[in-house]
Amino acid sequence: MGFWGDVLIFLAGLWAGTINTIVGSGSLVTFPVLVALGYSPVNSIISNAMGLVAGGFSGAYGYRREAVSAKRTLVKLLPASLVGGLLGAFLLLHLPESVFGYVAPVLIVVAILLVIFQPRLSAWAKARQSLEHITPEQADLQKIPMVLYILVFLIGVYGGYFTAAQGVLLMGVLGVFFHGTLQQSNAIKVVLSLVVNLVAAAAYLLFAFDRIDWLVVLLIAVGSTLGGFLGAGIGRRMKPIVLRIVIVILGVVALANLLSKLFHG
């Protein structure tokens, strides 16, 4: 499509950067656009992931205050995301693309259920631990359960493999196993997603350089950077219930998209 195709990629990057910062699933905007424009699926995944790194930085900067309030938790969870992202990138470069179509829908269903039932599950967990009135500062000092490390690692693997909807998954598990505010969880989600995309991008540079379309990377990078700033401002002002509704809606969209690809090729 030439010029108009480039404009479409830029706009997709802008929207992806915005919703990635708020909840995630930005790749479900950019990836279908790239495939529709004729780029191969693997090249689309790789170029898309690299382009969204820039948007991740701007989103993380936008949520810097909330990230600082949860810095201890972030430092503990970062290694799990880093190793998971590296493994996911390795799998992308070595496994058939069809594998993703069978695994991802299950993960999305789990994420949607976690987000929907998060208030009740979180209240139950807090009641058991006498954390009903916990402050953000106290939340950052809590002992992280091993199951959260495992889930963050697995989401990192998934994110390094495809990137789409890892934010939805992270918000789901953090809502249940991290007892901070929703905005703290959002900040942790933004930073962990950035780490996964960053290490995956480094792996692509080293082992799949010939598959990278640099024009696509540039267009998505510029668009997602602007979108990241927009998303941080929008997300911080949203009420928890609104943010949760957006997460569920995008999760359902992600699921429909993946199931469509699975059953219709």
Per-residue pLDDT tens digits for 103-149: 777 877 877 777 677 677 666 655 655 555 667 777 777 888 999 99
Q: Per residue in 32-70, pLDDT tens?
A: 788 778 787 788 888 888 888 887 887 788 888 888 888
Mean pLDDT in residue range 8-19: 85
Report residue 23 as tokens: 């909840």
Burial state string for 131-156 with b = 16 or more CB within 10 A and e = fewer than 16: eeebeeeebbebeeeeebeebbbbbb
Residue with the two structure tokens 């209240």: 123
CA pair distance 27, 46, nearest whole angstrom: 11
Structure confidence at residue 1 as a pLDDT band (50, 70, 90)? low
**CA-based R_g, the chain, Å:** 17
Angle at 78 between CA 132 and CA 127, to 5 degrees: 15
pLDDT at residue number 76: 94
pLDDT at residue number 254: 67
Structure confidence at residue 25 as a pLDDT band (50, 70, 90)? low
Q: Are 188 and 170 in contact (CB under 8 A)?
A: yes
| Sign of the dihedral defined by the CA atoms of residues 231, 60, 222, 50, in that order | negative
Statement: the pTM of the whole predicted model exceeds 0.85: no
